Chains A and B, each alone.
Chain A
């Protein structure tokens, strides 16, 4: 069964828990775009949502830093502030991804015991269909160098697509992350919105494969270390032309919600 839906969503915590520093109208516009994702996701009737996100040093710490990992527990649960969340994991698809991914030459780590990062939760909070769909959390290391190269992420996305296409389940794919932001650094208030706009224009023309040629240094410089989750998805969606549902640059974050026809 080919993919039934593909999206990229931001997960900045200020969308969920808004401090007074954030423009409320902007936050609501991003919510509206995420509402569109929810409607389309519901209409696509997926059996499983495969969600690609970067670990925010929530699940993994410096005891082990996997470049690419798959969560294969029965349930995925976590908390953020006053939010407590838990999702069923689609174990057959999660196992197929880890087993066939390794067979395809990707030395994936897996875990059955990780708190689910808010990077997974925020998109699901706004876009999970009313009848909850089981998930498979896929981790890409974005914050702890050396991170996997864009080339590797793109190749992993292509391999992932082949694994998913061979399944009987209807699969929705969501990348969580980006765009430009620099949390915890001196550049927090100065994201690279020009990079974001050029990227979105290229994706709208179906030129996603070009992201595989970016370097880790370029991503770090542009505040786009999390783009690795998008690049993985771009490996899976190929040259499909992106539809930008919103691009809302705030004082510290390029909030982008994007859909791909699949």
Chain B
């Protein structure tokens, strides 16, 4: 069985870099919210990757070589930004 956290394939670097940006950079999240397609193209993502991101399908993204943790935390940060009222802050 492959490890849950596997070596990130070099071919998936653009995807992982994009997920890293989405997770780490509020400006990228803002651009993504305004125009997802243009933001993904600007990050050099191919058709299959853009399609998987459009549905944010975890299994497809991981199948393309996305680091599972990056998928997870990009989603957490998008959710915190899009729906801040649904969280309790300590």
Within 8 A of B (CB), among A174-195: 182-188
Chain B contacts for A187, CB-based, 8 A: 4
Interchain nearest-CB distance for A34 vs B (Å): 10
B16: Cβ under 8 A from any A Cβ: yes
| A187 CA to B62 CA, complexed, in Å | 13
Q: Decide if A81 touches B4 in the complex (CB within 8 Å).
A: no
- Contact string, B1-39, partner A, CB cutoff 8 A, digits 1/0? 001111110000100110010011000000000000000
A24: Cβ under 8 A from any B Cβ: yes
Known: A61-B17, A81-B80, A183-B68. A145 touches B90 (CB 8 A): no
Q: Decide if B4 touches A58 in the complex (CB within 8 Å).
A: no
| A144 CA to B24 CA, complexed, in Å | 17
| A186 CA to B67 CA, complexed, in Å | 13
Q: Decide if B68 touches A184 in the complex (CB within 8 Å).
A: yes
Q: Decide if A17 touches B87 in the complex (CB within 8 Å).
A: yes
Known: A145-B3, A225-B5. A57 touches B88 (CB 8 A): no
Q: Decide if A57 touches B68 in the complex (CB within 8 Å).
A: no
B54: Cβ under 8 A from any A Cβ: no
| A122 CA to B24 CA, complexed, in Å | 17
| A143 CA to B3 CA, complexed, in Å | 11
Q: Decide if B77 touches A81 in the complex (CB within 8 Å).
A: yes
Chain B contacts for A183, CB-based, 8 A: 68-69, 72-73
Q: Decide if B84 touches A143 in the complex (CB within 8 Å).
A: no
Known: A17-B89, A19-B87, A145-B6. A184 touches B80 (CB 8 A): no
Residue B67 contacts which of A57, A58, A115, A221 (CB distance < 8 angstroms)? Answer: A57
Known: A16-B90, A17-B89. A143 touches B69 (CB 8 A): yes
| A181 CA to B16 CA, complexed, in Å | 21
Q: Decide if B20 touches A220 in the complex (CB within 8 Å).
A: no
| A182 CA to B4 CA, complexed, in Å | 8
Chain A contacts for B8, CB-based, 8 A: 62, 144
B40: Cβ under 8 A from any A Cβ: no
Q: Decide if A146 touches B7 in the complex (CB within 8 Å).
A: yes
Chain A contacts for B73, CB-based, 8 A: 56-57, 183-184
Chain A contacts for B6, CB-based, 8 A: 145
A92: Cβ under 8 A from any B Cβ: no
Identify the closest chain A residue to B4 (Cβ): A185
Residue B90 contacts which of A15, A217, A223 (CB distance < 8 angstroms)? Answer: A15
Known: A17-B87, A18-B90. A143 touches B5 (CB 8 A): yes
- Which B positions have Cβ atoms within 8 angstroms of A? 3-8, 13, 16-17, 20, 23-24, 58-59, 62, 67-73, 76-77, 79-81, 84, 86-90
